[in-house]
Copies of this chain bind each other. A is one copy, B any other.
Amino acid sequence: MTDLLTSWNDGVAKQAILDFVAKVTTPNAPSFVPPADRIAVFDNDGTLWVEHPLYVQAFFVFDRVRQLAPQHPQWQTQEPFASVLNGDLKAAMAAGESALVELVMATHAGMTTDEFGAIAKTWLATATHPSLKRLYTELVYQPMVELLAYLRANGFKTFIVSGGGVEFMRACAEQIYGVPPEQVIGSSAKTQFEMRDGNPVIMRLPELYFFNDKAGKPAAIQHYIGKRPIAAFGNSDGDLQMLQWTTAGPGETLGLIVRHTDGDREFAYDQTPMGSLKDALVEADKKEWIVVDMQRDWQRIFAFQ
């Protein structure tokens, strides 16, 4: 079964994963964990797929703004919409995550969840990354896809716990990660059940319901899963509390952080504000979390390499 991790170079990180899984799956060992409690949680952006130069969902949002602009003439002068329409994405994102949330609310609402899922699926089937020139669904980290499969082959239940929109991620998570919709936890908009021409629909409202980041992640894990995970995987300070919560549990646990160190095959940005990784790296040292150096530990990053 270790053959499942073929894109991992031999080294400390791979060995730590193999050792951890062996410990929790060896029957009669004191470290044994029954399958029902083998819960593993994964951040998405920057942990399972690219997030540079911007989150995949941000590119989706920009395309939605351009598409919906004719119906919203005021966007031509109203920020952050105006900057998006002028192609100045840096200016559009100047206000940080609050600008992104505003853009999401304006472009992801006023339709049913079924309709939104279809729009997201269509976009994901055709949209490509600005510099890597590949479908976003090809820009998933092959070693992490193998790790997801390896954990599941060892009786784990794998969950995504990400700041991304839950319905956006659900539009591709099963296809690219093998994670079904009910195991995707993300940020969400308010929704409302209503009758439309006698048919029940669930409408998306332009209002944030839950933002799944930082201290929100462990609270969401308890809320949605109801169990403390035994393994957590992230890549930024947004994952710090999720890793703390997971690795403070009783028994064997695994915390792992992915560092973006490979400017040739992907992007080297782990010391920049994007996907900021400072506090979690300090804590990783104290708590003996595994730190994956993408350049050193991954034999390949994408399946097509």
Contact = CB atoms under 8 A, between A and B. Distances in A.
A166 B220 CA distance: 13
Interface stretch (A126-134, A224-232, A262-270): A224-232
A243 to B, nearest CB: 10
Interface string A236-278: 0000010011001000000000000000000000000000000
B182 A224 contact: yes
A36 B39 CA distance: 19
Interface string A167-210: 10010001000001111100010011110000110100000010
Given A241-B193, A245-B200, A248-B200, A181 B227 contact: yes
Nearest to A226: B181
A219 B192 contact: yes
Given A248-B199, A248-B200, A193 B218 contact: yes
A7 B244 CA distance: 47
A68 interface: no
A193 B215 contact: yes
Nearest to A245: B200
Given A193-B241, A241-B200, A181 B225 contact: yes
Nearest to A225: B182
Contacts of A86: none
B248 A219 contact: no
Contact of A244 (B167, B184, B200, B245): B200
A167, A170, A180, A182 interface centre (most CB from chain B within 10 Å): A182
Contacts of A184: 226
A52 interface: no
A225 B167 CA distance: 11
A23 interface: no
Interface in A111-139: 113
A290 B112 CA distance: 28
A64 interface: no
A223 interface: yes
A79 B202 CA distance: 37
24 contacts: A36-B174, A39-B182, A157-B182, A166-B223, A167-B226, A181-B225, A181-B226, A181-B227, A182-B183, A182-B224, A182-B227, A184-B226, A191-B223, A193-B216, A193-B217, A193-B218, A193-B219, A193-B245, A194-B215, A200-B241, A200-B244, A200-B248, A202-B219, A224-B224
